[in-house]
Amino acid sequence: MTDIRHLNQVDLSRRLGISVRTLERWRWLGMGPRFIKVGGRVKYRLEDVEAFEESRLCQSTADEHYFSQPAGSGVRS
């Protein structure tokens, strides 16, 4: 059996260095890591968080998605 690790939004906000409110806004806009709802609670699978982080890697500030965050998202990468 695989050991699946889930993060709650507080864990993820600490990991990414952003506020819980930003994660809530990202979910509403459909732009953050994939998430699941379990019993009314939001959980993030570690594999989805890592995939999101990988997708946001930049080599330089000229990278296409460096400025692709919507205004007010609170994140520049």
pLDDT single digits (tens) 8-62: 999 999 999 999 999 999 999 999 999 999 899 999 999 999 999 999 888 887 7
Q: H helices of the chain, where?
A: 9-16, 20-29, 46-55
Domain edges within the chain? 6-58
pLDDT band at 75 (very low <50, low <70, confident <90, very high): very low
- Of 38, 22, 25, the C-alpha closest to 7 is 38
Residues 70/22, Cβ–Cβ less than 8 Å: no
Instruction: Tell me the pTM.
Output: 0.75
The CATH code belonging to domain 6-58 is 1.10.1660
